[in-house]
Amino acid sequence: MSQPLLSVTGLGVQFGTFAALQDVSFDLADGETMGLVGESGSGKSTLARAILRLVPATRGRLLWRGEDLLSCGARALRQRRRDLQIVFQDPMASLNPRMRVGETLAEPLKIFEAGLTSAARATRIARMLERVGLSPEMARRYPHEFSGGQCQRIGIARAMMLRPKLLVCDEPVSSLDVSIQGQIVNLLLDLQREFGTAMIFISHNLAVVRHLSHRVLVMYRGRLVEVASRDALFGAPAHPYTRALLAAVPDPTRAFAGRALTTGEAAPAAGRTPPALGGCAFHDRCPYAQPVCLDTVPTLQEVEAEHIVACHRWREVVYS
């Protein structure tokens, strides 16, 4: 395999005494879409923010084409900011209400392509607005004049302006009307294919994740519990938590095709018992739990090539 675009090793984020992210490792290839799922509070946004250096990682390594992202200096980081973009959950809140859409889209060009004339910038902005399904005249308007879906198109246009190598989408459609979620997802997919952008796509909507991911990461309480290709994850999940997630959406494919995209959590109700110190965090909700699960943290093991799972009893899960 060629050098990964992004390589995450043993990443941890601590908020005070609370470990929001623990020992997260994975690689991402150029142009690859990695779905990231897990119930609310499992650390998905924290992982996204740590990769973008919006929150400090307290442990681990982040390599960008082999170059250290966590210790790089201001200049190298600035260059990375051009390659690494994010689309947020709440499109309205992520746009500056006092800036015209055209000014918002001009910003990245002014910073990174300072040599452009204002006419050339206007052309780039008009083209990008059209590319995301808006009209060029909209550059003169303010965010409040747009619907949520249109604001998200603007957020996507801003993120794609410089043709980033990696686009992190943190629940980009969760706050939108069900009727337009599919359009936005398909827009992201089209742009990604056209520009060859790699994507980390965070969602609790498994139908959407299945629709666009090559591989899927499943997180539970700050840890990775399963990583697999889309087909392996949806076809032969090996972690009891992944199974519970999938069971909550009986047929994700149909849910996507037929309007019934769920916007609520597709996860089982949160357990009331805190995780055992040193044990598996899922033990209080797990139908497969055994005494070993209470005192030993399961490490990631290989089920087959490219399919790893953190569960002491994955064989029983897979073969039951």
Ligand X SMILES: Nc1ncnc2c1ncn2[C@@H]1O[C@H](COP(=O)(O)OP(=O)(O)O)[C@@H](O)[C@H]1O
User: x/- site string to ligand X, residues 5 to 44, per CB under 6 A?
Assistant: ----------x--x-x-----------------x-xxxxx
Choices 24-32, 43-51, 52-60, 291-299; region in contact with Mg ion by CB under 5 A: 43-51
Which of residues 4 and 172 has its CB atom nearest to Mg ion in the complex?
Answer: 172
Q: What angle do CA 312, 48, 295 make, to 5 degrees?
A: 20
Pick from 191, 293, 303, 308 the residue near ligand SF4 by CB under 6 A.
Answer: 293
Quick one: 45 or 213, whose CB is closer to Mg ion? 45
Does residue 286 interact with ligand SF4 by CB under 6 A?
yes
Pairwise CA distance, residues 73 & 126, whole Å:
34
Under rule CB under 6 A, residue 221 binds ligand X: no
Q: Kindly write down the DSSP assignment for every residue of 100-160, as one continuous string.
A: -HHHHHHHHHHHH-TT--HHHHHHHHHHHHHHTT--GGGGGS-GGGS-HHHHHHHHHHHHH
Enter the tokens of residue 253: 């494919």
Find the shortest distance in angstroms from Cβ 168 to ligand X. 12
Among candidate residues 80, 61, 74, the one with its CA nearest the CA of residue 11: 61
Selected range binding Mg ion among 38-46, 108-116, 210-218, 248-256, rule: CB under 5 A = 38-46
List the single partner that 43 binds among Mg ion, ligand X, ligand SF4, none, CB under 5 to 8 Å by kind.
ligand X
Sign of torsion over alpha carbons 77, 78, 84, 86: positive
282 binds ligand SF4 (CB under 6 A): yes
Q: Which of 225, 221, 222 is nearest to 241 (CA)?
A: 225
Residue numbers of the site for ligand X (CB under 6 A)?
A: 15, 18, 20, 38, 40-46
Residue numbers of the site for Mg ion (CB under 5 A)?
A: 44-45
